[in-house]
Amino acid sequence: MFTHSKRRFVQLAGLTIANRILPDWLRARPFSPPRDSGRKVIIVTFGGGVRYSETFSHEGLKNIPQLAKMRPEALFFTSCANAGVLSHFNSTASIITGNWQRVDDFGFQPPASPTLFEYYRKQTGVGPLDAWVIATNKSFSTMGAGSEREWGSPFGANVVLPKQLLLEAVDDVVKKTPQHGVANRDNVLRQLEAILNEGYEGVGWTIFKAGRQLDHHLRNTLTRGLIEFINGPEAPTSGDELTFFITREVMREFGPRLILVNFWDMDVAHWGSYSLYLQAITRTDRLTGMLWEEIRSNPNYKDKTTLLVLPELGRDGDLNTSSNGFLNHRSGDPSCRNVWLLALGAGITRGETDRPIQHIDVAATAAALLGVKTGAISGKPIREILKQAP
Amino acid sequence: MPDQPKVSPFLQVLIDKGVFDQLPVSFSTFFFEQVKEWELLFPAERSYFERLFGLIDRSDPKAVQELFAPLRGVERKMGVNEKVWPKRQFSLDQVDFLNRSAHYPEWRKVIANIFSQIDPLLDAETARASHARLVIIVSPAELPVGPDRMWTRLKDKGKMVSLDLTEEDDVRDYLPQLLTGGKRNDGSKTLVELYAESKAKSLYDTWLIEASDALSTLVTRSAGLVKLSYDNLEVYRTRLMAEVRKILETEDIRGPRQLGAKLKQLKMLSKDIGSDPLLAEFVRSVLLSGNGTLLINNTFVEWATVQAVRRARPSLAVIHFGIRNKVKPFSSLLIYTDQKSSNPIPDQMDSLGSYVDLEVFNYYLWQEFEKHAEYRLNTVYLFVGVGMDEILVIGPPDHSLAASGGRIKLTGIYDQTKKWMNLV
């Protein structure tokens, strides 16, 4: 048929001219997963959703000075699409499973297929301290493992939800000391520690304990994160800042090879304040920059860590006729679905590509970087990232 | 029938004829749900539903069939059947079903396509019955910028008009001069009152929506117009927050949609929002379904305006933003908690943050009005910053302010807008 011939012709023509128009690093090569390289992978999501227009557009760059500074060192994917359900849980679950997830929007169900953490832990046999989810979004308690029987929590990640801890503490302080409330930061710290001492489950955390000593060790590690948070030089108060401090303590103390860090402050956009939304983006940008500094200065991570940064989704566009702009993320318009991905660190060749990738490609890519195989997932390894993997 | 809504006789005839039931279920049930609470719909909404289904009824059945055929196809792919989507039911289950379907983007696309064919026909009817409209959007005096940095997203759509202000002018008389043509102490009637008295098409044709009480104190009349003030609703808002918090603490609420459904059952009326059940429901819904409307004054103003435009299509609207407070450390995490009582730190105004917020909101509001055929080509928009010596005017070319040159007094603006609204 003509249509078939025409399509074939276009394919062949494309192949013929590819050598002339594509840079060398962009050309497709047969992909084979690398062997275990000891590489570490940290995935950072700009959770809550952020639009291109406030980040990597010309006018948005002022909101993300750290990412803008990191970009020349990175491989930047200009088109990373979320083609799934535009809720927070499903978006991030799709990133870490490699399949578009369509489970409960608010984390009352675990992902329907195995997560990257399960693939990694089951195949390598590493313990629970080697895979972590540290999430500001308080509904992510089931993000560490999927619901498939052969996999599941025995191979899942530790999940800690710093903001949920903070919320509980603030709530308690307000109730117990209504006169002083949360104006006294020591009150907040005391309450944070008290909640932690009562056990983790109360705040929705899943931590796989390996004996009393480790539990004690773990608690001390997390408490250090809390103390740094409360006494930080800029008097931090946000959920994302606490997420950062705890992530850094976990990295310093346990050096896990696989971490998902979910920042989420920018979801304040739902409140309808554009300035608060921009402030949250800039804060997340700063924290991501600090995380990158930690990776570069911590001997456990330096030169062996690949950092993947991407928004879990965008937000509705200003021109959308049925929504209310940046306040929501439900329209499914390009502003809501089309975001970006920044890859940097070990084995990454600098550059930029507009080859479209998808959120579900992240799991396949991270698995390959860690030297593990995934099951049958929809996502495809991102060849540009894996090109130089040993 | 138990699920038979009480609607207008005209719509009832269409329901009885099976006009709703002949359409794909994901389309018809949405509207069936909308008309169920007929007494809580504004006249503009009722008119729209009657015109929409009237149009479908009188159209060639073959054309209707063809128009909805792609939607039937998507519904088949999605697995829509009597079990997942009972006839005349559109509940949270259906919303979840749609959202989680792999074909949801396709569904949205075919729905958009259906309306792209229906809307021009309905819009043409609307345009034939059009009349002059006026929208005044006011920014507070405390913004830290001048008119050169105001309305930056809108400037290319209109004209900056210089005002003839004198040093003797008291900023407290700025709004009175614009809205009454005189000073505050003169006690003259406002444009709003004049319109509500003589020209308004219904009780819901004239709206004042504001963050504080600058307009409420100027417009003394309450009958025949809608007045909403974030500050004046404080008692109601606090009670509402307490109720929501109680529900969250005592009941198993899975997420915002479930919370929304629960809150819909919370028929919390109050004298603070008047005795009109339609407006009481409107306010309750704006405060509970709008993001952040309980917490941030300008979000309330924006969302209430968007909803008023979408639902009531006012002919005259005066919107007054305010300065929002700075978000308090820690206690701002507790969304449904009264910030004043949970944190002893005094409230602080965030004027710069408010400026950034309003640059976006001014644009969103103008865009919202212009989405609707009622406003296109016959609406004058005045963007005003209290105390500023320039205003932004967007309007049809035949409006006198669009053609004016030189400086003009605020009272001159009043005269011309009064003329535009045929109030002379």
Question: Tens of pLDDT along B15-60?
Answer: 999 999 899 999 999 898 889 889 999 999 999 999 999 999 999 9
**Whether the Cβ atoms of residue A223 and residue A190 lie closer than 8 Å to each other:** no
Distance set, CA B318 to CA A358, B187, B373, B381, B404 (Å): 45, 18, 19, 10, 22
Question: Tens of pLDDT along B169-197?
Answer: 788 999 999 999 999 888 899 999 999 99
DSSP per position, A145-162 = --S-TTSSGGG--EEE-H
DSSP single-letter state for residue B408? B
Long-range contacts of A54-59 (CB under 8 A, 24+ apart): A54/A277, A54/A278, A54/A281, A54/A326, A55/A281, A55/A311, A55/A340, A56/A340
B3 assigned to some structural domain: no
So what's the ipTM on this one? 0.91
Judge whether residue A18 has pLDDT over 70. no
DSSP per position, B282-330 = HHHHHHHHSTTTTT-HHHHHHHHHHHHHHHH--SEEEEE---PBPPPTT
Contacts of A273 in chain B (CB under 8 A): 292, 296, 298-299, 324, 353, 357
Judge whether residue A186 has pLDDT over 80. yes
Q: How many Cα atoms are found within 13 Å in the side-chain-facing hemisphere of B40?
A: 16
* Total of domains in chain B: 2
Stretch (H or E) spanning A364: helix A361-370
Question: Tens of pLDDT along A216-254?
Answer: 888 888 888 888 888 888 778 889 999 999 999 999 999
Phi–psi pair at B227, nearest 5 degrees: -120, 120
When pLDDT is averaged across residues B4-19 and rounded to a whole number, the result is 88
A275 touching chain B per CB within 8 A: yes
**Whether the Cβ atoms of residue A249 and residue A224 lie closer than 8 Å to each other:** yes
**Whether the Cβ atoms of residue B179 and residue B318 lie closer than 8 Å to each other:** yes
Task: Evaluate the CA torsion angle B291, B296, B300, B303 in order and state its sign.
Answer: negative
Question: Tens of pLDDT along A193-221?
Answer: 888 887 777 778 888 876 556 778 888 88
Shared domain for B63 and B160, answered yes or no, is no
Shared domain for B204 and B102, answered yes or no, is no
Higher pLDDT, A46 or B241: A46
Judge whether residue A21 has pLDDT over 70. no
Question: Tens of pLDDT along A272-299?
Answer: 999 999 999 999 999 999 999 999 999 9
Q: Bridge partners of B381?
A: B135, B394
List all residues 6 or more positions away from B126 whose beta carbon is below 8 Å from its beta carbon: B372, B373, B374
Helix spans in B346-395 (H)? 351-370
Contacts of A104 in chain B (CB under 8 A): 254-255
Residue A389's pLDDT is 52
A83 touching chain B per CB within 8 A: yes
Structural domain of residue B332, as residue ranges? Answer: 133-420
Q: How far apart are CA A258 and CA A365, in angstroms?
A: 13
Q: Which CATH architecture has domain A40-162+254-386?
A: 3-Layer(aba) Sandwich (3.40)
Distance of CA B84 to the CA centre of its chain: 33
E strands in B142-256: 159-162, 206-210, 226-229
Tell which of A273, A313, A337, A338 to mutate to test the B interface (max B CBs under 10 Å).
A273
Yes or no, beta carbons of A188 and B330 under 8 Å apart: yes
Higher pLDDT, B168 or A179: B168
Q: How far apart are CA A76 and CA A70, in angstroms?
A: 10
Question: Tens of pLDDT along A346-355?
Answer: 889 999 999 9
Contacts of A242 in chain B (CB under 8 A): none
* CB-nearest partner of B255 from A105, A324, A332: A105
User: What pLDDT band is residue A388 in, cutting at 50, 70 and 90?
Assistant: low
Judge whether residue A368 has pLDDT over 80. yes
Q: How far apart are CA B86 and CA B71, in angstroms?
A: 17
How far apart are the CA of B243 and the nearest CA of chain A, in angstroms? 17
Q: How far apart are CA A258 and CA A145, in angstroms?
A: 14
Of B149, B334, B115, B157, the residue nearest B241 (C-alpha) = B334
Shared domain for B91 and B119, answered yes or no, is yes
**Whether the Cβ atoms of residue A101 and residue A358 lie closer than 8 Å to each other:** no
Yes or no, beta carbons of B329 and A332 under 8 Å apart: no
Question: Tens of pLDDT along B90-137?
Answer: 888 888 888 889 899 899 999 999 999 999 999 999 988 889 999 999
A190 touching chain B per CB within 8 A: no
Yes or no, beta carbons of B360 and A326 under 8 Å apart: yes
B2 assigned to some structural domain: no
B352 assigned to some structural domain: yes
Residue A343's pLDDT is 97
Tokens of A4: 């078939």
B1 assigned to some structural domain: no
Shared domain for B317 and B185, answered yes or no, is yes
Shared domain for B215 and B350, answered yes or no, is yes
Tokens of B223: 């009958």
Contacts of A161 in chain B (CB under 8 A): none
Shared domain for B148 and B190, answered yes or no, is yes
- Of the three residues B94, B128, B162, the one that is the final residue of a domain is B128
Q: Under the phi-then-psi rule, with left for phi > 0, alpha for psi from -120 to 50, and beta for the rest, what region is A38?
A: left
How far apart are the CA of B96 and the nearest CA of chain A, in angstroms? 9
Residue B60's pLDDT is 95
Question: Tens of pLDDT along A314-353?
Answer: 999 998 667 789 999 988 889 999 999 999 998 899 999 9
Shared domain for B123 and B212, answered yes or no, is no
User: What pLDDT band is residue B333 in, cutting at 50, 70 and 90?
Assistant: low
Domain range list for chain A: 40-162+254-386
When pLDDT is averaged across residues B251-257 and rounded to a whole number, the result is 71
Q: How far apart are CA B242 and CA B244, in angstroms?
A: 5
Q: How far apart are CA A133 and CA B3, in angstroms?
A: 47
Yes or no, beta carbons of B343 and A272 under 8 Å apart: no
Q: How far apart are CA B44 and CA B68, in angstroms?
A: 25
User: What pLDDT band is residue B349 in, cutting at 50, 70 and 90?
Assistant: very high
Shared domain for B261 and B373, answered yes or no, is yes
CATH of the domain at B194: 3.40.720
Shared domain for B265 and B215, answered yes or no, is yes
Tell which of B301, B324, B342 to mutate to test the A interface (max A CBs under 10 Å).
B342
Shared domain for B308 and B159, answered yes or no, is yes
A163 touching chain B per CB within 8 A: yes
Surface of A (2-61) touching B: CB under 8 A: none
Stretch (H or E) spanning A329: none
* CB-nearest partner of A271 from B100, B291, B356: B291
List all residues 6 or more positions away from A74 whose beta carbon is below 8 Å from its beta carbon: A342, A343, A344, A348, A350
Judge whether residue A27 has pLDDT over 50. no
User: What pLDDT band is residue A190 in, cutting at 50, 70 and 90?
Assistant: confident
Q: Bridge partners of B209?
A: B228, B319
- Of the three residues B73, B100, B128, the one that is the final residue of a domain is B128
Q: How far apart are CA B194 and CA B180, in angstroms?
A: 10
Biggest alpha carbon–alpha carbon distance for chain B: 72
Q: How far apart are CA A326 and CA A45, in angstroms?
A: 18
Q: How far apart are CA B222 and CA B228, in angstroms?
A: 11
- Of the three residues B128, B158, B180, the one that is the final residue of a domain is B128
User: What pLDDT band is residue B268 in, cutting at 50, 70 and 90?
Assistant: low
Q: Tell me if residue A358 falls in helix, strand or coil.
A: strand
Residue B122's pLDDT is 95
Judge whether residue B359 has pLDDT over 70. yes
What's at B290, amino acid-wise? G
**Whether the Cβ atoms of residue B46 and residue B38 lie closer than 8 Å to each other:** yes
A105 touching chain B per CB within 8 A: yes
Judge whether residue A17 has pLDDT over 70. no
Q: Tell me if residue B70 falls in helix, strand or coil.
A: helix
Count of pairs with CB atoms under 8 A, one residue in A, one in B: 119
Q: What is chain B's mean pLDDT, rounded?
A: 89
DSSP single-letter state for residue B162? E
Judge whether residue B210 has pLDDT over 90. yes
Neighbouring CB atoms inside 10 A of A56's CB total 21
Highest mean pLDDT among A21-25, A121-125, B264-268: A121-125
Yes or no, beta carbons of A327 and B291 under 8 Å apart: yes
Judge whether residue B332 has pLDDT over 70. no
Q: How many Cα atoms are found within 13 Å in the side-chain-facing hemisphere of B288?
A: 27
**Whether the Cβ atoms of residue A265 and residue A46 lie closer than 8 Å to each other:** no
Q: How far apart are CA A161 and CA B270, in angstroms?
A: 39
User: What pLDDT band is residue A24 in, cutting at 50, 70 and 90?
Assistant: very low
Question: Tens of pLDDT along B71-93?
Answer: 999 999 999 998 889 887 888 88
Contacts of A173 in chain B (CB under 8 A): 330
List all residues 6 or more positions away from A292 whose beta carbon is below 8 Å from its beta carbon: A66, A70, A307, A344
A278 touching chain B per CB within 8 A: yes
Residue B356's pLDDT is 97
Q: How far apart are CA A238 and CA A236, in angstroms?
A: 6
User: What pLDDT band is residue A25 in, cutting at 50, 70 and 90?
Assistant: very low
Place of tokens 């008023």: B308
A184 touching chain B per CB within 8 A: no
Question: Tens of pLDDT along B269-320?
Answer: 666 567 788 998 899 889 987 678 988 999 999 999 999 999 999 999 999 9
CA dihedral B96, B97, B98, B100 (to 10 degrees): 80
What's at B279, amino acid-wise? L
Shared domain for B170 and B81, answered yes or no, is no
